[in-house]
Amino acid sequence: MDQPQPMNLPMDAHRRSGAFPPEVIAQIQRTATEGHYEIRGWGAKRDLPTFDDLLFLTASLTRYPLEGYREKCDTSTVLGTRYASKPLQLAIPVTIAGMSFGALSATAKVALGRAASAVGTSTTTGDGGMIAEERAASRLLVYQCLPSRYGFNVDDLRQADAIEIVIGQGAKPGGGGLLLGQKVTDRVAGMRTLPAGVDQRSASRHPDWVGPDDLRIKIEELREATRWEKPVYVKFGATRVVNDVKLAVEAGADVVVVDGMQGGTAATQDFFIEHTGIPTLAAVRLAAEALRDIGMEDTVQLIASGGIRTGADVAKALALGADAVSVGVAPLIALGCNSPTYWQDGSDHDASDGYQALGTEAGYCHHCHTGRCPVGVTTQDAGLEARLDADRGARQVTNYLKAMAMETAALARACGKSDVHNLEPNDLVALTVEAAAMAQVPLAGTEWIPGRQDKI
Amino acid sequence: MEPVILSCAELSTREINAALAALPDGASARVLEPRGRHNLAVGLSNRVRIDIEGNAGYFIGGLGDGPDVVVHGFTGWSVGENLQAGSVRVEGNASECAGASSRGGTIVIEGDASSRTGISLKGGTILVGGNVGHMSGFMAQAGVMLIGGDAGDALGDSLYEAVIYVAGTIASLGSDARIEELTESDVRAVKALAELGGASFGHVQPENVTRVASARGLYNFDALKDQKY
Amino acid sequence: MCGIVGLHLKNPDLQPRLGELLTQMLEAMTTRGPDSAGIAVYADRDPAPAGHEADPGPDQPGPPGQELRYSLRSDETIDWDLLAKRIAAETGRDLRVEPLGSDSAVFVSSAAETSFLAAVRRAAPQVTVPGFGRSMVVVKDVGAPAAICARYGIPGWGGYQGIGHTRMATESAVTTAHSHPFAPAADLALVHNGSFSNYATVRGRLARQGIRCDTDNDSEVAARLVAARMAEGADLADGLRTVLKEMDGFFTLLVTTRTQFAVIRDSFACKPAVIAETPDYVAMASEYHALAGLPGITGARVFEPMPEEIHVWSR
């Protein structure tokens, strides 16, 4: 047979359509084959304004830095001082966000708990209830109260250190939880009072209260049931942030948690993830402003979440007014999500077959919803879960959280702060007009903040 | 032992609940002048009897894990929400979301209940002597409901494994709810439930109730089946 | 976030107590709204001037010659007597001032409604008109409901019906601009608990018909929609049916005219509403405990309105 002649493609053979790039073509093709919307994990993947668009104005002639290591920069953080008799005392301004057992494997929950305990912070249960292993592993555990109430019971409520009433999350504000049948094992199903193997649908509203006026009464109920000891957080996806924050405070929240559109999930419709909610960058600033507007910035704490990755992100969120951040996708990556290998029986193994089977590669995977996580993080399959080593995973997440805290402190020191909570908007400038407008800090090199007439 | 007397006219909700929580098993208490007070008798786990003498507000007996609470009047929203053990009985009517998310124990509404009765039910027992409003049994996962009167629209929408018995008429069924044949075991169960309910259920004829259960058509997503979402 | 209350008296013997009872109900709803409150009170006022033609109908604005009461409010200090003289001069009609408080006053005038309101706008653009009518007086103010009622002496007011609203403010400027009741037509008042999700569209539609809203508040849109329908000749029930048809969201509405008292809930019925009825009155509130102190409440028929059912009581 003759050798095939190489074809000379014209120079514009790979001219990419802005409206129909390969990702969109693939989406449409998939919808045509499968007949329904795409469900996936992770948060918004398209390019959005993020904290990368902000920069710190660190020390200069007129602002003096602190010496690293020798001169202390305090990272301790207290959450829930408003009403609770036992607020949470954290060593660092980073907490682990709510992720359910069901979405995550039990081993993943344990590893996260151990790391949080090692570092001095909290983890959070998710849309499925509390497992004993997580309560044992986590020194500080926040218990979520969600619209579904899967697994929610008063015994676990009493064992928790704080309560988080979830109105919604950044990935899908207004949408309820989702767990596909392949992950609804006997144990998961039992906890959630569901038949094993069903595709779990979740309610989008709470069953026993609807608006902020009723939330006030609900918060009182939860406090009455827990002797007013535990801080009550109210979490919502970032949409109408200012009103939501003010109403949550008025309803009695000790802490408000604002989750921007980059927030992750283990299973949500792609259209929800990409097209609902506002970027975390804008959400943090709006929430902080709302608290200042009602004089509550020193009474009610603000936790920001949604695509927080590094200490730089943490420092910027704190500078914009958050008291702490919450991380979800990032510690999972530290645990092994999207790692090309997994550790089992004392050695590294290649995970590429697992990614290939999902139609992806390490570095691009967002298929948590399948339950076929090649590294054992978001699976209920015993064989796959065995690929996650709890001790090793805990060590990795501990390393990640510690490094994050050190980065945050280093940036704070460079801005002349002896406490990370003294970071302020004045320490920041923006690289783009959008970021300047969303964060309400000046465009670098100018005094211009879009929308503000007065000079800063 | 004499019942402990607690008056809403003199005590805050917090003081009342603290006093109720401090009672030893076997004790009883009367809560006077509730006048629509919310959150009475919530989060209690002692085996005590609590009589609320009047009309009460939201979440009465909520997050309960032991007491028997009787309201001599009507209640607001979400009576007995997330009940785990014990009982809550309302002699009058109950407002919306009665028994929401309850996982155990028994909730008895002698009068009418409102919309979304038994929403998100997770194993508890809810008995209503009169009617229930629309969207009752919405996403009810486990447990049983007996409705002595009529049910409003969309009964049992997105029903899982809970079963709903209706003695009166049903305005309409929710998506994935269907009527099933009454078996002998159903009749026995309804008879026992009606007895548990008491005098307000005397009119219920166990052989003549309608059994509503899940058609299980929504258990797995399949867009090609034209499911209604 | 807010609470609504309403009381419609059937027994005239209770009329001297209307203000006292409404105050008690409003104060109970402070938990749902501590920042500002508004109240509309209806009383049989001075009879129409002698020689006046047949009444055009209970829910239509009177022709020139019919005295209307205009409740006025100013967030800045104002000399009400001076303003009254100016308006009287501009409209060519005598004007009586009934003091209400330092921030508020009632001007009674037989000028045509449109000319009176235009004169106020020209003479004192900082003055708002929370409501007007033959029988209705509207008070809106910032602060705790109990303080507001005390400031205006509302416990001493008599009347045959009243509605009220307590509000938790989300905007930073503390004014009464967003307070309920919204009273866009003579003797019409509306209070709302809930959240309309398509009000911006309806507001735009009304604007194209020449009907402008004073605020960007969703409740005002509903009030103007009802007023628009009634100006076309519809009755209150029809006006409320239009809201059910055209407006989306979650809502409990309490709406009154000179002779009617109506409650409706949307089809989801997720916003609370409790009604108590005795031979002497009909009372409505967001939560029962606001009604718990009313006379004869223990014997009242207490019920919740069904979704999309319009409950109307008429004098």
Query: pLDDT of A113-146, one tens digit each?
Result: 999 999 999 999 999 999 999 999 999 999 999 9
If you measure CA to CA, which chain C residue comes closest to B75?
A: C288
Q: Nearest to residue C261, comparing CAs of C8, C3, C5?
A: C8
- Which residues of A lie inside 8 Å of B (Cβ-Cβ)? 34-36, 148-149, 152-155, 157, 180-181, 192-195, 197-199, 201, 203, 207-209, 214, 217-218, 220-222, 224-228
Instruction: From chain A, pick out residues whose CB is under 8 angstroms from the CB of B82.
Output: 149, 152-154, 208
Looking at the fold, whether C204 and C144 belong to one and the same domain comes out as yes
Strands B163-166 and B122-128: unpaired
Looking at the fold, whether C150 and C284 belong to one and the same domain comes out as yes
pLDDT band at A297 (very low <50, low <70, confident <90, very high): very high
- Domain count within chain B: 2
pLDDT at C176: 76
Question: Count of CB atoms within 10 A of residue A257's CB?
Answer: 31
Looking at the fold, whether B189 and B121 belong to one and the same domain comes out as yes
Q: Test A251 with C1 for CB contact under 8 angstroms.
A: yes
Domain that holds residue C167: 2-43+137-314
Instruction: From chain B, pick out residues whose CB is under 8 angstroms from the CB of C302.
Output: 55, 74, 93
Average pLDDT of span A6-27: 91
* Structure tokens that stand for A88 in this block: 């949470």
Domain of residue B156, CATH code: 2.160.20.60
pLDDT at A452: 86
If you measure CA to CA, which chain C residue comes closest to B112?
A: C303
Residue A409 forms part of a structural domain:
yes
Asked if the C-beta of C309 comes within 8 angstroms of chain B's C-beta atoms, the answer is no
Domain of residue C102, CATH code: 3.30.70.3400
Looking at the fold, whether B68 and B103 belong to one and the same domain comes out as no
Q: Test B58 with A203 for CB contact under 8 angstroms.
A: no
CA B113 to chain centre: 9
Final residue of a structural domain among B50, B66, B92: B92
Chains A, B: CB pairs < 8 Å: 111
Helix runs in A43-185, H state only: 106-119, 132-137, 154-159
**H or E segment and range at residue A399:** helix A390-414
Looking at the fold, whether C164 and C259 belong to one and the same domain comes out as yes
The interface predicted TM-score of the complex, written ipTM, equals 0.95
pLDDT at C53: 46
Looking at the fold, whether B212 and B129 belong to one and the same domain comes out as yes
Q: How many residues does chain B have?
A: 229
**H or E segment and range at residue B192:** helix B184-197
Residue C239 forms part of a structural domain:
yes
> For a pLDDT cut of 90, what percent of chain A falls above it?
88
Final residue of a structural domain among C78, C103, C133: C133
> Is residue C18 predicted with pLDDT exceeding 50?
yes
Looking at the fold, whether C219 and C232 belong to one and the same domain comes out as yes
How far away is chain C from the Cα of B28, in angstroms, using its nearest Cα? 25
Question: Across the interface, which of C1, C31, C170 has its CB nearest the CB of A211?
Answer: C1
Average pLDDT of span A354-377: 96
pLDDT at C170: 67
The pLDDT tens digits of the residues spanning A29-72 come to 989 998 888 899 999 999 999 999 999 999 988 888 888 777 88
Mean pLDDT of chain A: 94
Residue B228 forms part of a structural domain:
no
Looking at the fold, whether C82 and C191 belong to one and the same domain comes out as no
Between A367 and C76, residue with greater pLDDT: A367
The pLDDT tens digits of the residues spanning A165-193 come to 999 999 999 888 888 899 999 999 999 99
Question: Count of CB atoms within 10 A of residue B5's CB?
Answer: 11
> Is residue C245 predicted with pLDDT exceeding 70?
yes
> Is residue C65 predicted with pLDDT exceeding 70?
no
pLDDT at B228: 47
Query: Based on the number of CB atoms within 10 Å of its own CB, is A369 exposed (0-12), middle (13-18) or buried (19 or more)?
Result: buried
Between C77 and C159, residue with greater pLDDT: C159
> Is residue A419 predicted with pLDDT exceeding 80?
yes
Q: Test C32 with A210 for CB contact under 8 angstroms.
A: no
Final residue of a structural domain among C71, C104, C133: C133
A381-390, B15-24, B108-117, C64-73: least confidently modelled range? C64-73
If you measure CA to CA, which chain C residue comes closest to B133?
A: C306
Q: Nearest to residue B154, comparing CAs of B191, B117, B107?
A: B117
Average pLDDT of span A371-399: 97
The reported pTM is 0.91
Q: Tokens 């209350």 identify what position?
A: C5
Helix runs in chain C, H state only: 18-28, 80-91, 113-123, 145-152, 199-208, 218-231, 236-246
A424-428, B81-85, C193-197: least confidently modelled range? C193-197
A98-102, B106-110, C109-113, C280-284: least confidently modelled range? C109-113
Residue C200 forms part of a structural domain:
yes
pLDDT at A332: 98
How far away is chain A from the Cα of C270, in angstroms, using its nearest Cα? 7
Instruction: From chain C, pick out residues whose CB is under 8 angstroms from the CB of B55.
Output: 288, 292, 302
- Domain count within chain A: 1
> Is residue C55 predicted with pLDDT exceeding 80?
no
If you measure CA to CA, which chain A residue comes closest to B77?
A: A208
A332-341, B17-26, B129-138, C64-73: least confidently modelled range? C64-73
Final residue of a structural domain among C117, C133, C149: C133
Q: Test B35 with C293 for CB contact under 8 angstroms.
A: yes
> Is residue C295 predicted with pLDDT exceeding 80?
yes
| Residues A315, A321, A327, A333, CA torsion sign | negative
Q: Nearest to residue A269, comparing CAs of A165, A365, A355, A366?
A: A366
The pLDDT tens digits of the residues spanning A307-345 come to 999 999 999 999 999 999 999 999 999 999 999 999 999
pLDDT at C174: 62
Residue B224 forms part of a structural domain:
no
> Is residue C49 predicted with pLDDT exceeding 60?
no
Q: Subunits touching C (CB < 8 Å, at least 3 pairs)?
A: A, B
Looking at the fold, whether B42 and B69 belong to one and the same domain comes out as yes
Looking at the fold, whether C119 and C184 belong to one and the same domain comes out as no
Final residue of a structural domain among B53, B76, B92: B92
> Is residue A391 predicted with pLDDT exceeding 90?
yes
Looking at the fold, whether B106 and B213 belong to one and the same domain comes out as yes
pLDDT at A295: 93
pLDDT band at C50 (very low <50, low <70, confident <90, very high): very low
If you measure CA to CA, which chain C residue comes closest to B154?
A: C268
> Is residue C77 predicted with pLDDT exceeding 60?
yes
Looking at the fold, whether C199 and C258 belong to one and the same domain comes out as yes
Residue B225 forms part of a structural domain:
no
How far away is chain C from the Cα of A147, in angstroms, using its nearest Cα? 15
Domain of residue A394, CATH code: 3.20.20.70
> Is residue C90 predicted with pLDDT exceeding 80?
yes
Distance from C-alpha of B125 to C-alpha of B47, rounded to nearest angstrom: 18
Q: Test A225 with B43 for CB contact under 8 angstroms.
A: yes
> For a pLDDT cut of 70, what percent of chain A falls above it?
98
Residues 6+ apart with CB under 8 A from A250: A212, A216, C1, C34, C168
Question: Across the interface, which of A247, A293, A294 has its CB nearest the CB of C1?
Answer: A247
If you measure CA to CA, which chain A residue comes closest to B59?
A: A221
Domain that holds residue A346: 51-428
Q: Test C288 with B134 for CB contact under 8 angstroms.
A: no
Residues 6+ apart with CB under 8 A from A355: A361, A362, A365, A374
Residue A39 forms part of a structural domain:
no
Question: Across the interface, which of C272, C289, C302 has its CB nearest the CB of B77?
Answer: C272
pLDDT at C51: 45
Residue B229 forms part of a structural domain:
no
Q: Test C306 with B133 for CB contact under 8 angstroms.
A: yes
- Which residues of B lie inside 8 Å of C (Cβ-Cβ)? 35-38, 55, 57-58, 74, 76-77, 93, 95-96, 114-115, 133-134
How far away is chain B from the Cα of C243, in angstroms, using its nearest Cα? 21
- Which residues of A lie inside 8 Å of C (Cβ-Cβ)? 205, 210-214, 216, 242-243, 246-247, 250-251, 293-294
Looking at the fold, whether B136 and B195 belong to one and the same domain comes out as yes
Strands A200-201 and A268-269: unpaired
Instruction: From chain B, pick out residues whose CB is under 8 angstroms from the CB of A214.
Output: 58, 77
Reply yes or no on whether C2 is catalytic.
yes
Domain that holds residue B50: 1-92
Mutating which of B12, B84, B219 best tests the A interface, going by the most A Cβ atoms within 10 A?
B219
Q: Test C170 with A246 for CB contact under 8 angstroms.
A: yes
Domain of residue C38, CATH code: 3.60.20.10
Instruction: From chain A, pick out residues whose CB is under 8 angstroms from the CB of B64.
Output: 154
Q: Are C160 and C44 in contact (CB under 8 A)?
A: yes
Asked if the C-beta of C272 comes within 8 angstroms of chain B's C-beta atoms, the answer is yes
> For a pLDDT cut of 70, what percent of chain B falls above it?
97
- Domain count within chain C: 2
Residue C96 forms part of a structural domain:
yes
How far away is chain B from the Cα of C28, in angstroms, using its nearest Cα? 11
pLDDT at A338: 97
Question: Across the interface, which of C287, C302, C304 has its CB nearest the CB of B57?
Answer: C287
pLDDT at C282: 98
